[in-house]
DNA sequence: TATGAATGAGGGTTCATTCAT
DNA sequence: CATGAATGAACCCTCATTCAT
């Protein structure tokens, strides 16, 4: 990478970091381009050399952060001996939930913005960033020798929506119960969804 | 009701209607107070006689619309002979899903804004508006003679979050599948959640 | 006084009290008619039955409060045996300064608004309110048997302006020195002004 | 100075000039930011690049105008042969009074806003603007070989407060007498204050 | 007299975007 | 590529005043 390109990447990363910090602390609506460039230490005009607008940089961030989240969970999974697919899924979800418990602002940011649409888009856009292990995880899930799922996409969709929406409330507001209290019921439900989709 | 009070209610309703129309067509962020009062035909200052700000009127609308949604479903249920609690819940959910299929802008509005927190708040604030049957439905569910649920609040929480988040994607974007295609899996999952919470 | 008239006076006084409380705590600029009527407990329209606007009620208050200030000082003077005109003036001024030290918000209100113009107007409008002893004090000062002043109005003008402007800074901000430290120099200057105006 | 910086100074000066013109003609309360930028010929947002709010630009103006006032008086003093400190002070005051007689709107603006606090602040902030001769004048007064004053700051404070408050009334409203009629008494009082502070 | 709902002009302030440097 | 001064539309909100009741 040339010096100039490295410089550009550094500017871009700086803007991404500043935006993430502000989005998670103040919220997207209350964050202005001015805030981002000021925190980032670049000029206002520079922002527009890298991103179209606030929502463009937000989408980049969601993809990046969601990818990191799954990536870490996958890494952790690799270090275990779990081979049972049901346990693998539970492990991944549990790991992600734990990550989000430790970084509630990330949860706030992800939950408010991560929809199935973006999730799928991120799955497809695997080329852009090497951090995105999502694609691998998904295919790992689908193309197994030991288990075949009926309508695996619907299954995964229901699981992801159930987890993301219940965790949002449980982790951030302990409503209706604390996340640790919710987990047994949640994991039980997930296992059941999977079992009922197993042929 | 005096003429003056009737006039006031009319103004308030006019503002609520205008706001709902704009929120569902343009989104809340893109809707300004100016837009609302202009559509409503009242003066700008009048808005502030009835609501604190844009988010105040939004909350009133969510409560009102969610209440109407459940109210209609409850009415329809009364006309059936269903007495089994599992079938009752499925009926209510199916009815609400069908209502939302016919009014996608309402779905867009409700989904983006209805959280468990607001749901509970709405449940509690029964006195304000006679449209809110939620309280009745909830208690109908909990205090049954035939069935006792373990942790009914967690159960209801999971069902509501699962339904609202999956329907959002399925109805509006047919992602990952059309709502009608999703229903069997969704209802199956719901029934299972309930069964596993039955003592 | 009829019951109706008593009721009216009560409303008027209530408005005056509320306005004074708000003017001294928030400042005139930041006080709205709405604030006044709300604190006063009367309807908005009622305000306009008694006062033209915010500045009308302010002027009434200045006259009233300034009159009370001088009235109290005069009362205190009566209880002393001071007969020397120089000492009488110093006594009055000292007494007023002490009153203002105890009620700094009153000082803030009076100082910002009391000009020689209003002072003279208040002197003249003796009929309106029995609280206004200013007229008596002034004539007491002028028409003495023992001492005759050259240009007594200029003398009084200079004294009042000197006292009011220096006390404002000294009492409220202790700038350039505390009021007690200032007093000797101030009183010395006042005595000198008087002596040089004595024929 | 680069072209850009010159352009910026021009914008800032343009805003200051417009604000001064409006403050003196309409008063600060009745002057809006909109008025200032319109008169200045710049965009509304530009105002906030240079000043925090209306009161920020007011303070800048007071410092600037007060500095110019004293600066001109000091210049005039240099051209005389006066060396006696008492006569110097009287000369400065007389010169300033005369300037204010010729520019009553300036008097109105200065008097309403110039407090001892701002006066001292202006004295201290000498670095910002080369127009501010106040510091020199003050030290010229204090550190003399021929005369030593007891508590010179109190003395100066009393003189400034006496002059500014009496002149306000006399120049603008000829109350209680015209400024020219007041001068002898005023200067006499000032001289006496100084003498009594002379050790 | 007394009320208080309604008005709507106008206030201060923000901010995405542009473009000359 | 990078800058940051300048823009001006658009925002939210306040408030003195009116007038039908």
Q: Is the CB of A32 under 7 A from strand E?
A: yes
Cβ pair B173:A117 closer than 8 A: yes
| Per-residue pLDDT band at A154 (split at 50, 70, 90) | confident
Instruction: Say whether pLDDT at C128 is over 60.
Output: no
Q: Alpha helices of A41-115 — where are they, by DSSP H?
A: 44-50, 54-78, 85-102, 104-113
Q: Which of residues 39-58 of D touch C (CB under 8 A)?
A: none
Rounded to an integer, the average pLDDT of C45-66 is 91
Q: Does nucleic acid strand F have an atom less than 7 angstroms from the CB of A44?
A: yes
Residue A93, CB half-sphere, CA atoms under 13 Å: how many? 24
User: So what's the pLDDT on residue B133?
Assistant: 55
Total beta-carbon pairs less than 8 A apart between chain A and chain B: 93
Q: What pLDDT score does D68 carry? A: 86
pLDDT, residue B46, reads 97
pLDDT above 70 covers what percent of chain C?
A: 89
As a whole number, the mean pLDDT across chain D is 86
Segments of C56-95 assigned E as strands: none
Tell me the average pLDDT across A152-161: 87
- Contact (CB<8Å) D192/C189: yes
- C28: which DSSP letter? T
As a whole number of angstroms, the distance between CA A24 and CA A35 comes to 13
Asked if strand E comes closer than 7 Å to C46 Cβ, the answer is yes
Interval D9-17 mean pLDDT: 94
pLDDT at residue number A94: 96
Using the Cβ of D163 and the Cβ atoms of chain C, whether some distance falls under 8 Å is answered with no
Residue with tokens 């990818």: A67
Mean pLDDT of A25-52: 94
Query: Average pLDDT of C11-31?
Result: 93
> Minimal Cα distance from B152: which residue of A?
A176
Is D128 a residue whose pLDDT tops 50? no
Tokens of A24: 């998670």
- Who among C161, C175, C197 is closest to D166 (CB)? C161
CB-based contact, A13 to chain B, within 8 Å: no
Question: CA dihedral defined by D87, D91, D94, D96, rounded to 10 degrees?
Answer: -140
Chain D nearest CA to C161, separation (Å): 6
Write down the mean pLDDT value for chain A: 86
Please check the confidence at residue D133 and state whether its pLDDT lies above 60: no
Q: What is the pLDDT of residues B38-76, one digit of tens each?
A: 999 999 999 999 999 999 999 899 888 888 888 899 899
Highest mean pLDDT among B33-37, C169-173, D131-135: B33-37
- What is chain A's alpha carbon radius of gyration, rounded to the nearest angstrom? 19
CB < 7 Å to strand F — which of 57-76 in chain C? none
Residue B136: what pLDDT? 65
List A54's β-bridge partners, or say none.
none
Backbone angles phi, psi at A93, to 5 degrees: -65, -45
Q: Which of A138-152, C51-65, D7-21 is predicted least confidently? A: A138-152
The span from the CA of D71 to the CA of D94, in Å, is 14
Contacts of D186 in chain C (CB under 8 A): 158
User: Average pLDDT in the D89-115 region?
Assistant: 89
Q: What is the pLDDT of residue D12?
A: 95
Q: Enter the pTM of the model.
A: 0.84
- Suggest the residue from C176, C177, C183, C198 to mutate for an interface test with chain D (most D CBs closer than 10 A): C176
- Would the CB atoms of C176 and D161 count as touching at under 8 Å? no
Q: How far is the CA of B128 from the C1' of E8 (A)?
A: 31
What pLDDT, on the 0 to 100 scale, is given for residue C87? Answer: 93
Q: Which residues make Cβ contacts (< 8 Å) with residue B104, sequence separation at least 6?
A: B171, B172
Partners of C149 in beta bridges:
C198
- Looking at beta carbons, which residues of chain A come within 8 Å of B172? none
Whether chain C has a CB inside 8 Å of the CB on D196: the answer is yes
- Res. A125: pLDDT tops 60: no
As to burial, measured by CB atoms within 10 angstroms (0-12 exposed, 13-18 middle, 19+ buried), residue C127 is exposed
d(CA B190, CA B139): 19
Instruction: Give B196's contacts in chain A (Cβ within 8 Å).
Output: 188-189, 192
**What is the distance of C-alpha B130 from the center of its chain?**
15
C151: its two tokens: 């240009």
Q: Tell me the pLDDT tens digit for each residue of B79-129.
A: 999 988 899 999 999 999 999 999 998 998 888 777 777 777 665 554 444
The mean-pLDDT minimum among B43-57, B85-99, B142-156, C77-91 falls in: B142-156
Which residue's CA is nearest to the C1' of nucleotide E8?
Answer: B43
Other CB atoms within 10 A of residue C137 CB? 20
CA distance B176 to chain A (A): 6
Residue with the larger pLDDT of the pair C42 and D141: C42
Give yes or no for residue C140 having a pLDDT over 80. Answer: no
Return the minimum-mean-pLDDT range out of B99-108, C26-35, D117-126.
Answer: D117-126
The whole-number average pLDDT for the span A51-80 is 89
Q: Do B175 and A117 touch (CB under 8 A)?
A: yes
pLDDT at C123: 59
pLDDT at A133: 55
Predicted pLDDT of residue A127: 44
Contacts of D153 in chain C (CB under 8 A): 176-177
Name the protein residue, with chain letter, whose CA is nearest the C1' of E15: A32
Asked if the model's pLDDT at residue B194 lies above 60, the reply is yes
């Amino acid at each position: 990478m040339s010096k100039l390109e490295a410089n550009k990447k550094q500017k871009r990363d700086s803007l991404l970091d500043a935006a993430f910090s502000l989005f998670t602390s103040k919220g997207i609506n209350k964050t202005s381009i001015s805030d981002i460039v000021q925190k980032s230490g670049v000029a206002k005009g520079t922002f527009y050399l890298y991103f179209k607008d606030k929502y463009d940089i937000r989408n980049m961030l969601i993809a990046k952060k969601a990818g990191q989240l799954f990536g870490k969970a996958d890494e952790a999974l690799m270090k275990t001996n779990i081979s049972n697919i049901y346990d693998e899924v539970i492990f991944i979800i549990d790991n992600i939930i734990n990550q989000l418990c430790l970084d509630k602002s990330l949860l706030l940011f992800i939950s408010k913005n991560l929809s199935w649409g973006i999730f799928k888009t991120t799955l497809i856009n695997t080329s852009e960033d090497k951090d995105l292990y999502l694609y691998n995880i998904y295919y790992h899930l689908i193309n197994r020798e030991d288990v075949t799922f009926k309508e695996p996409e619907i299954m995964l969709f229901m699981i992801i929506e159930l987890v993301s929406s219940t965790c949002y409330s449980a982790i951030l507001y302990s409503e209706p119960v604390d996340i640790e209290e919710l987990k047994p019921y949640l994991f039980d439900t997930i296992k059941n969804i999977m079992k009922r989709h197993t042929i």
